[in-house]
A and B are shown apart, each in its own frame.
Chain A
Amino acid sequence: MATITIEGVRHVANLARLEFNDAETEHFTEQLTRILDYIGKLNELETDDVPPTSHIHPHQVFIMGSQEGAAHVAKADVVKPSYPREAVLANAPEPEEGYFGVPRVVDRSH
C-alpha cells in the first residue's frame, strides 16, 4: 500500500472540498501516514479469491423484485406530495425567492 505525501493531502482535501493551512496539512499528513501504516496490516491477507462484501444481506440488494429478493423493502413507485416549500427552506442559510441562494456562479457580463 502506498503512503500519503503533503501534495497527496492537498489533492485529497480539494476532492473533499476542505481547505487546510500549511500547519494543518502537515499535521494531517503525519496522522494519515500513521493510520495508513496501521491499515497496511490488511496486506498480510491473501484476498485474490475472496469476494468483496458491500452489504451483509446481499440477496436483498442484488435480486430486487425477484421472489428470492422478497425480503427486500422497496417503495411502490407512486407520486406523493413533497414537503411544503417553506418547511424545506426553513433550514436554508440564505433562501432567496423560494430557492436556495448560493454565490453567483455565472458572470452577468457574459
Chain B
Amino acid sequence: MLCELTAHALQEKLKNREITAVELAESVYARIDEVEPHVKGYLTLTEDLALEQASRADAGFQKGDEMPALAGIPIAIKDVICTKGVHTTCGSKILENFKPPYDATVMTKLYEQGVVMIGKTNMDEFAMGSSTENSAYQITHNPWNLDTIPGGSSGGSAAVVSADTAVCSLGSDTGGSIRQPAALCGVVGMKPTYGRVSRYGLVAFASSLDQIGPFTKDVTDCALLLNAICGSDVMDATSVDVPVPDWTQSLINDVKGLKIGVPKEYFTPALDTEIADSIQRATAVLEGLGATVEEISLPHTEYAIATYYIIAPAEASANLARYDGVRYGYRNENPEDLINMYKKTRSEGFGEEVKRRIMLGTFALSAGYQDAYYKKAQKARTLIKSDFDAAFEKVDVIATPTSPTPAFKIGERTADPLQMYLSDVMTTPASHAGLPGISVPCGFVKSGLPIGLQLLGAPFAEEKVLRVAYTFEQNTEHHRQKPQIQTNGVTSQ
C-alpha cells in the first residue's frame, strides 16, 4: 500500500510519475475505511479538500514543474492548529462548531509546499493530558494494542502515522505531547527548540512552553517536515530569527566524536525495567558506532513535574479566559445575566481536566499565593534549565527514555490525575528549558508495545539531535516494524 511508505520514498515516486498524488490520497482514505473505525485517530476528515489539493499537485507534476519537497504528501493535523474554514475543536465541546477565519502560519507554509491535508486529529482537550482520553469526542486506540492509549496529548497525530492512515502529521508539545505519544505509538516525533516554529494559529495552552512539531515514519521525513515549518514569523513575537539550515544536511550516518550524556536521574525505580534495558542497548549501539557515552547528572529533574503543573496551568488559566461564549464557541442558552452566562458556558463547555487545570492555575496566580507557587515554580524552572546548560558544556546530546512505561490500558489512570501527570516525568524537564527533543523507536517490551528513545540537544542544536537520531535509525530496524491492527478479530496487513 502506498500509504505505508515514507514521504521521501513517495516524493521520488511522485517526481518520477510512477504514482499520482490522487492515487496516494485514495490509498490513505482506503486505509482509513479499513482501520479508522478501530483506531479513531481523526475528528474530521477533509477528503474533498484533499483530493482537490492532490489534483493540483498532479497538475504540477504533469507539467514538469519544479515541485516543493512535500507536494502531494498526505498529512494529518492536530485539531489544535487553526485551519481556515475547517473545524478546529481542540478536542473540546466549547469549540464544537468553530471554523477559524484564518490559517495558522504552519498551515500556510504547508499549503505552499503543496501538501494534501487528510484531516484533523483527536487530542486531549486543549492539549491537556497524556493519553488522549480527555478528548470530549472519542477515545483513540493505540494501533499496537487497541486496548491501550496512544499517549497524549497528540495521541491522534501519533496513532494515524503508526496506523498508516497518514504519511505524516503535525502535533504540539507543551510538556511532552509530541515525544510521549510518538514513543508509545512507535513513530518518530520531534519538538523543535522553543521559538523555531511560529505559534501563530496554534490555539494557546501554555504560551512559554507550546511548540509545534512533526510525527513521521522516519528521521528523514522529520527533517523534511522541519524544513517546511521552521522559521521566524512576524505574527509570533516569540518566534526567533535565527538561520534555518536545510535539515536534510543533518542526516549524517556517523556519530564518531560526538558525546552523549545519559542522566542518572532518569533511571528511577519508577522506570519500567524493560525500557531501562532497551535504552541501555540503544546507547550501546551509539557507542559501538563511535560516540562517547557518559553518565551525567541533571540534579533538579525530580522537580520538573511539580514545576510544570504550576507553570502550565497558570498560563492556561489566562489563555482559556477567552472562552466565554461571546465571540465563538458554545454558549449556555438560559443565563440569568452576563456573569452567569460566562460561568454556565465555561462549566458546561469545558471537560473535567481542563477545569482542574484552570482551577490550579487560577489558584497559583491568585492574591496571596502567587509568590509561593507561580514565582517559586519560575525559579525552579531556572534551576532545571541551568542543569541542562551545564550538561551541554560537556556533552553534545542527552539520551533518555521518552516515557517511564509503555502504553497503558485505556481507563487505567483516569481516576487519579496525579498519576497521569507523572506520565510526563521524562519529557517536561526539556520543555522547561525549551530544548529540541526527538523520540525515535528503539525496541519493544515483551508484550509487543513500542519503546521510544528521547534525544535532547542544546537550544537550536537540532542538527546534532537529528544526526544522532538518524545514525541510530540507519543502524537499527525498530522503525521498520508495523503494528498488526486487529479489525474484528481479523488481522489486517
Listed in ascending order, the chain A residues whose CB lies under 8 Å from chain B are 1-2, 4, 8-9, 11-13, 15-20, 28, 31-32, 34-36, 38-45, 47, 50-57, 60-61, 70-76, 83, 87-88, 90-94, 100, 102-105
Interface of A is mostly: loop
Cβ contact within 8 Å between A16 and B382: no
Residues of B within 8 A of A (CB): 97-99, 101-102, 194-195, 208, 232-242, 300, 302-303, 305-307, 309-310, 317, 321, 324-331, 335, 337-344, 346-347, 350, 355-356, 358-360, 362-363, 366, 369, 372-373, 375-383, 385, 417-418, 421, 432-434, 459
Q: Are A18 and B382 in contact (CB under 8 A)?
A: no
* A93 close to B237 (CB less than 8 A): no
Q: Give me the 7 closest cross-chain CB pairs, A-B, nearest first.
A: A52-B378, A56-B434, A91-B328, A93-B331, A47-B379, A16-B362, A17-B342
**Cα distance, A31 to B309, chains bound together (Å):** 13
Q: Would you give the shortest CB distance from B178 to chain A, in whole angstroms?
A: 17
B362 engages A93 (CB within 8 Å): no
Min CB gap A108→B, angstroms: 14
- Give chain A residues whose Cβ lies under 8 Å from the Cβ of B378: 52-54
- Known A-B contacts: A18-B350, A75-B234. Give 7 more (CB < 8 A): A4-B363, A12-B366, A15-B366, A20-B347, A53-B379, A93-B326, A105-B338
A-B contact count (CB 8 A): 182
CA distance A83 to B23 in the complex (A): 37
A38 to B239: give the CA distance in the assembly, Å.
Answer: 33
Tell me which residues across on chain B come within 8 A of A100, comparing CB atoms.
Answer: 326-327
Least Cβ–Cβ distance between B399 and chain A, in angstroms: 21
**Shortest beta-carbon distance from A73 to chain B in Å:** 5
Q: CB-CB < 8 A to A15: which residues of B?
A: 362, 366
* CB-based contact B194/A52 at 8 Å: no
Interfacial chain B residues near A43, Cβ < 8 Å: 376
**Option from B102, B335, B418 in Cβ contact (under 8 Å) with A38:** B418
Q: Which residues of chain B have C-beta atoms less than 8 A from A71's C-beta?
A: 240-242
CB of B79, distance to nearest CB on chain A (Å):
15
Cβ A102 vs Cβ B362 within 8 A: no
In the complex, the answer to whether A92 meets B372 with C-beta atoms within 8 Å is no
By a CB distance below 8 angstroms, the chain B residues around A20 are: 347
Q: Is the CB of B417 within 8 A of A47?
A: no
Cα of A56 to Cα of B102 in the assembled complex, Å:
28
**Bound complex: CA of A43 vs CA of B372, how far in Å?**
9
Bound form: Cα–Cα A100–B137 in Å: 28
In the complex, are the beta carbons of B379 and A52 less than 8 A apart?
yes
CA distance A71 to B382 in the complex (A): 21
What's the Cα separation between A31 and B381 when bound, in Å?
Answer: 24
Contact of B306 among A41, A52, A75 (CB under 8 A): A41
CB distance from B312 to the nearest CB of A (A): 12
Q: Are B382 and A93 in contact (CB under 8 A)?
A: no
A50 to B40, alpha carbons, bound, how many Å? Answer: 46
**A13 to B347, alpha carbons, bound, how many Å?**
10
Question: Cα distance A43–B346 when bound, in Å?
Answer: 33
Q: Could you tell me the distance between the alpha carbons of A74 and B306 in the complex, rounded to whole angstroms? A: 33
Asked if B372 and A19 sit within 8 Å, CB to CB, the answer is no
Give the nearest-CB partner of B331 in chain A.
Answer: A93
| Distance of A44 Cα from B14 Cα, bound (Å) | 58
Chain B residues whose C-beta falls within 8 Å of the C-beta of A56 in the assembled complex:
194-195, 208, 385, 432-434, 459
